[in-house]
Structure 1
Amino acid sequence: MKKLIVTILIAFAALAPMHLDNDYLRTDTFAAVTIQPGESLHDVAGRYTINEADKAQLIEAICEINGVHADTPLKAGRQLQIPVRANADGGAASRAIAQK
């Protein structure tokens, strides 16, 4: 019986999400974005954060949530769900939109 329980726990741990340190994957707030011609995931993520470490996590989360790969070109007109993190002070979710 102990072997069965240990096996189940190991299987669960192996199949559990490994992105526990990515806050974007734990949010329940999303923005809908329509991809413009020539736009990349890096461009989209740049609208929501200017911090490069956050941008990498955001791109990872966008890929996982929308079923896309980071290196795959995005088709203009496609709509993506962008996870938006809550403010550090616990306030409502906000987005830092970079100026074009």
Structure 2
Amino acid sequence: MAFEYRVQAGDTLWDIAGRFGDGRTDRRQAVYEICRMNDITAGTLQSGMSILIPGTNPGRIQTGL
């Protein structure tokens, strides 16, 4: 299961993984999963991109979608 998130200016994969993490998964593993699901690297992440985040949308953050 995954949900879509629109990358905001200043977002990093590390921040996104921490923001949406469940607290049980290592953040490094979460970053790896986000990269794998979206075929991206930290260097290719850009504001405005829509990416898939593993898990369910916690509803805490507006995605703009």
- State which structure, 1 or 2, has the greater radius of gyration over its C-alpha atoms: 1
Query: Does residue 36 of the first structure (1) align with residue 8 of the second (2)?
Result: yes
| Correspondence for 1:59 | 31
Q: What is the alpha-carbon distance in structure 2 between the residues aligned to residue 58 and residue 80 of structure 1?
A: 13
Bigger helix fraction? 1
Q: Is the 8 A contact 2:3 2:57 kept in 1?
A: no
Q: What is the alpha-carbon distance in structure 2 between the residues aligned to residue 94 and residue 75 of structure 1?
A: 20
Number of residue pairs aligned between Structure 1 and Structure 2 = 61
| Correspondence for 1:76 | 47
Q: What is the alpha-carbon distance in structure 1 between the residues aligned to residue 3 and residue 57 of structure 2?
A: 10
Q: CA RMSD in A?
A: 2.6
Q: Select the structure with the greater relative contact order (CA < 8 A; seq sep ≥ 6).
A: 2
State the TM-score, normalized to the length of structure 1. 0.50
Give the 3 Å change call, closer, same or farther, for CA 34–60 of structure 1 in structure 2.
same
Bigger strand fraction? 2
Deviation at 1:82, TM superposition (A): 0.6
Structure 1 unaligned regions, length at least 5 = 1-28, 85-92
Q: Percent identity?
A: 29
Deviation at 1:56, TM superposition (A): 1.1
State the TM-score, normalized to the length of structure 2. 0.73
Q: 2:50 is matched by which residue type in structure 1?
A: Q
Query: Does residue 45 of the first structure (1) align with residue 8 of the second (2)?
Result: no
Q: Is the 8 A contact 1:65 1:81 kept in 2?
A: yes
| Correspondence for 1:14 | none
